[in-house]
Amino acid sequence: MAKTEETIQKKEVQQAERAERTRATRVFTPEVDIIERRDDILVVADMPGVDETSVDVTLEKNVVTIYGKVQPEVPERGRPILVEYGIGDYERTFTLSNEIDREKIKATVKNGTLRLLLPKAEAAKTRKIPVMAEP
Amino acid sequence: MLWSEGLGRPGSFWRDWETIENQMNRLFAGAAPSAREFPAINIWADGDTAVVTTELPGIDPGSIDMSVVGKTLTLRGERRPEEVENGTYHRRERWYGKFGKAIELPFDVDADKVSARFSKGVLYITLPKAETEKPRKINVKTE
């Protein structure tokens, strides 16, 4: 049953990477799907509690970082009687293997899910090479 | 008692095994607290109201099925996998599939006054206590 527990839990970022945090909050690793298509790479990340104003996407060389800031909503009255999940920010960093067209990156957030569309630069796109028959 | 139905995560033998194990536990454990099941929930409560929150990102709020009977709140829903044509998955960590969970609250709920709000992928359900459960003041008459 330990496994069940593990699979429903959010994964907390183990340690501050690169820099220490100034904001005292928990940081979780969002679960992602990464799908590569012919012309682009689609990153879908579950970040409940995040909207379009509170997520930052940065691209530095080939490293993409997504950071979602969560303002916890706590009921005005009462006290917690059952706590199964923690609330905090989200952060995750990816290294991209293909050259990305920085100008055309698109990010949208809907219902707490971030969709990041990274179009490949012309040079990195797969090209179909026609095979000719020898004369 | 908390319970849940099979969840469509990319399956593995152990996952299936756990489902069976949980079902067995459920059969024999009766009302004993069982393993926490998907989705994870938080409950806030005071004397009159309970607030249940759960994170269901990327789900269509209209597809969440909620029902209340007595003390038990039941949540059901489904999330479909991303539909992509001609794509290759490099990572596939997000959950998808059907879920169901029954949550027992500390008091009987007034089912007519339950309200729910879905914001940024988080579901907030407010459940007021039933009138019949509230303490009543009894006047002592003098003869």
CA atoms within 13 A on the CB side of B16: 4
Choose the closest CB to B94 out of A31, A37, A111: A31
Query: The dihedral of CA B21, B23, B25, B27: what is its sign?
Result: negative
Integer Cα distance of A33 and B91 in angstroms = 5
Q: Which residues of A touch chain B, with CB atoms under 8 Å apart?
A: 1, 3-5, 7-10, 31-38, 42, 44, 46-51, 73-75, 77-85, 110-113
Nearest-CB residue to B87 (from A32, A36, A113): A36
Q: In the prediction, which pLDDT does A67 show?
A: 93
B106 contact residues in A (CB cutoff 8 A): 81
Domain assignment present for residue A102? The answer is yes
Which two tokens mark A98?
A: 């293909």
**Residue A6: inside a domain, yes or no?**
no
Evaluate the CA torsion angle B78, B62, A43, A39 in order and state its sign. positive
Q: Is residue A127 part of a domain?
A: no
Confirm whether A112 is domain-assigned: yes
CB contact under 8 A, B43 and A31: no
Q: Is the ipTM of this complex over 0.85?
A: no
Cis peptide preceding B39, ω within 30 of 0: yes
Position A44 pLDDT exceeds 90: yes
Distance between CA B71 and CA B106 in Å, rounded? 7
Domains of chain B: 3-81+95-133 (2.60.40.790)
**Nearest chain B CA: its distance from A15 CA (Å):** 21
Q: Answer yes or no: is pLDDT of A112 > 50.
A: yes
pLDDT of residue B8: 42
Q: What's the pLDDT band for A1 if we cut at 50, 70, 90?
A: very low
Whether residue A3 is predicted with pLDDT greater than 50 in this model: the reply is no
Selected residue with higher pLDDT from A86 and B84: A86
| Domain CATH number, residue A57 | 2.60.40.790
What domain range includes position A67? 25-74+83-122
User: In this predicted structure, what is the pLDDT of residue A18?
Assistant: 57
Q: How many domains does chain A have?
A: 1
- The per-residue pLDDT for B87 is 85
- Asked if residue A106 belongs to a domain, the reply is yes
In a domain, A7, yes or no: no
The whole-angstrom separation of Cα B125 and Cα A42 is 32
A20 belongs to a structural domain: no
Residue A18: inside a domain: no
Q: Would you give the end-to-end CA distance of chain B in angstroms? A: 48
User: Taking a C-beta distance cutoff of 8 angstroms, is the pair B132, B108 a contact?
Assistant: yes
Mean pLDDT of A104-118: 92
* Distance from C-alpha of A129 to C-alpha of B109, rounded to nearest angstrom: 66
**Per-residue pLDDT averaged across A95-105, rounded?**
81
- Indicate the DSSP class of residue A132: P
Residues of chain B under the 70 pLDDT cut = 1-36
Stretch A42-65: mean pLDDT: 90
